Chains A and B, each alone.
Chain A
Amino acid sequence: DTGVSQDPRHKITKRGQNVTFRCDPISEHNRLYWYRQTLGQGPEFLTYFQNEAQLEKSRLLSDRFSAERPKGSFSTLEIQRTEQGDSAMYLCASSSSGELFFGEGSRLTVL
């Protein structure tokens, strides 16, 4: 297993467009997290899955954001009607217990 992988690594889009990010966690990990990180800040929690169930969502996650993990394996994070304030690094992490293993992130730039 090569760790947590995220795709795409970079995405440039125009304001108002929809974007989708994919995360493939470490295969035996049942927990999956999405975080958002802006320059000079620590990651901010967005949402958490245990298997296919979305158990927690941050208040930061507006109704334009939706995340799924349909079969308890990979996950997608979709942002609809993107705004310039959505520009950030979107990090995915997985765990079985305790330590979080992060992917290298998907950097979103909204023009």
Chain B
Amino acid sequence: GENVEQHPSTLSVQEGDSAVIKCTYSDSASNYFPWYKQELGKGPQLIIDIRSNVGEKKDQRIAVTLNKTAKHFSLHITETQPEDSAVYFCAASFMDSNYQLIWGAGTKLIIKP
């Protein structure tokens, strides 16, 4: 079955620096790749997503890149701020599978002041 691996498990960066989180997936048929942010005591919240017909997508300080050949995708956060501290999850799915997502294990992002 589909498997999603996410690295690193913890990432600590200085405020204002960039953060990069990487995920790999196993099933080449996956075609939808969302990223979720989860703050303590809250449910995950979608921050950006990408479909397999697109190589890169950007939304202000957040960008996602997708390499279909290598089956990996990455989240890039620039000019990090304290409020970016959270756990970030990548996921993968088939758009035809009722969006049944397979999740990575998460990355705890710590922004140091």
A100 touches B98 (CB 8 A): no
Which residue of the partner chain B has the closest CB to A95? Answer: B99
Cα(A103)–Cα(B42), bound, Å: 8
The secondary-structure label for the interface of chain B is: loop
Interface size of B as a range: 20 to 34
Which residue of the partner chain B has the closest CB to A58? Answer: B100
Which residue of the partner chain B has the closest CB to A102? Answer: B43
- A43-54: CB near B (< 8 Å → 1, else 0) gives 111001010000
Which residues in window 79-111 of A have CB below 8 A to B? 91, 93, 95, 98-105
Specify which chain A residues have a CB less than 8 angstroms from the CB of B20 in the assembled complex.
none
Q: Can you spell out 14 A-B residue pairs with CB atoms less than 8 angstroms apart? A: A4-B43, A42-B89, A42-B91, A43-B44, A44-B103, A45-B101, A50-B98, A93-B43, A98-B99, A99-B34, A100-B46, A102-B45, A104-B41, A104-B43
Could you tell me which B residues sit within 8 Å of A by CB distance?
6, 32, 34, 41-46, 49, 89, 91, 98-101, 103-106
